[in-house]
Chain A
């Protein structure tokens, strides 16, 4: 059974749908990447899963439970964590307080998890008492991901985690995404930097104009001439 499955989703703001009949799924242990041109509805797909906009047709399944149009504060409680592209840390809270807020909905003792997160992100352990707003863009992304992982999520949704980062940090973020995945967390990630994202993806989808265009393994899409022409620059 897939961890997350979108079935023929129509979704958008108000009456005009941005997504038209989008289907995709994430199986246990997978990194699934969604690429596509600007305005293709990649981020919209994540927001639709998270209840941030209205799904007018189709359904979203989390394992075997339907979560179509469940509001975000309830989706979180079901173990789906979403890291938005911007504004994804509490800038005036310290790194540790951010992680604690990530565990807000946990009823059990979250401190062992905090230790694990610090082991996964040693940089964060060092800066635990600094305000998150004082960190660099790359480190903030680490805080945002660490904060989401505090919940031990069943699936992690990442919206363009490398947007606005320098190439050096980009590589670091993709490595981090792989590490998180290696620890057993399935990931659905929307990305602009298609080549690097496809390189770490188990499977990927190409959305164009709010519809599914291609799908395949990361390697297949990297080798696909049309995908190469559209997203990877002339040389693929």
Chain B
């Protein structure tokens, strides 16, 4: 029982939190800008390298280093939007999608040139799991950080979207850009706010993934599929759907390796990333609006 919780459920939740944070940005940008941003994973990776650099330069704790990295990446994202997405605002969606694809390749190559392709740890050493609840639950401190930080960020996003003027305007633009314009909501300002939130949450997800594993230049690309799967599962354009979708996919991936039948893992762990893909395809075929009635791709 506790083995199930400690080695499958909790790692699933940790992974799910990371997916959820990543999927949040995808679903927000899709809802407001109406295109699938393939560069999202790479923005996450770039921000994680910036955080790694802060760790090297100033000896910061990775979670602290994430804050300036989030701010820097958000600024950079505004510049990238100006250069690569804004010229295509009124062009057909596919052009923005292709632009994001190109941007993805450019960012990855730039990072590989600057930082090299070798994987690097952001948190040195190995953390031993600590016993909680009389030793029933084993949990490494870094996993506690990840769970708590994700909760804090989700709460902040929730307040942003439901309590602030710009957050409500973001939801209004996601609802109907035309009506938002007629109402006098400055759509470009809302788009910039969206990029800032998307970049910041992506970097948070990237740093957490790096704390859990390591920093490498393919991390963004590998995250892309589960993040999109989570966004689609939750319903495109539904922030809380993306969070739920991320958690479901993270947990499903880890639980797929549990020895449900007999003693061998149900699914060889090497194939677990196939779970996200299977869920995404199944949703697109049977319920493209996702669990929370989002927009159909």
Contact = CB atoms under 8 A, between A and B. Distances in A.
Interface stretch (A11-19, A56-64, A94-102): A94-102
Contacts of B181: 72-73
Nearest to A92: B175
Interface of A is mostly: loop
B182 A90 contact: no
Contact of A90 (B165, B171, B184): B171
A73 B184 contact: yes
Contacts of A89: 179
A76 interface: yes
A104 B185 contact: yes
A102 B178 contact: no
Interface in A73-88: 73, 76-77, 82, 84, 87-88
Contacts of A88: 179
A93 interface: yes
A203 interface: no
B142 interface: no
B129 interface: no
A89 B171 CA distance: 12
A50 B182 CA distance: 9
A7 B162 CA distance: 44
A190 B238 CA distance: 36
B179 A72 contact: no
B175 A104 contact: no
A57 B169 CA distance: 35
B185 A84 contact: no
A200 interface: no
Contact of B171 (A50, A82, A84, A93): A93
Interface in B123-179: 165, 168-169, 171-172, 174-176, 178-179
A91 B175 CA distance: 7
Determine the interface band of chain A, counting residues with CB < 8 A from chain B. Answer: 20 to 34
A100 B181 CA distance: 15
Contacts of A230: none
B168 A76 contact: no
Interface residues of B, number: 18
B291 to A, nearest CB: 16
Contact of B172 (A72, A76, A87, A101): A101
B147 to A, nearest CB: 29
A105 interface: yes
B183 interface: yes
A87 B169 contact: no
A147 interface: yes
Contacts of B168: 93, 97, 100-101
A133 B165 CA distance: 20
Contacts of A72: 181-182, 184
B171 A87 contact: no
Given A90-B175, A90-B176, A101 B183 contact: yes
Interface string A2-40: 000000000000000000000000000000000000000
Interface in B83-114: none
Contacts of B175: 90-93
Nearest to B179: A87
A76 B187 CA distance: 14
A97 B168 CA distance: 7
Given A87-B176, A90-B176, A76 B182 contact: yes
Contacts of A151: 184
Given A90-B175, A91-B175, A101 B182 contact: no
Q: Among the interface residues A73, A87, A88, which one has the most CB atoms of the partner chain B within 10 A?
A: A73
B159 to A, nearest CB: 14
B230 to A, nearest CB: 20
9 contacts: A82-B182, A84-B182, A87-B176, A88-B179, A90-B175, A90-B180, A93-B168, A101-B185, A151-B184
Given A90-B175, A104-B183, 19 more contacts: A72-B181, A76-B183, A82-B182, A87-B176, A89-B179, A90-B176, A90-B179, A92-B171, A92-B175, A93-B172, A97-B168, A97-B172, A101-B168, A101-B169, A101-B180, A102-B183, A104-B165, A104-B185, A147-B183
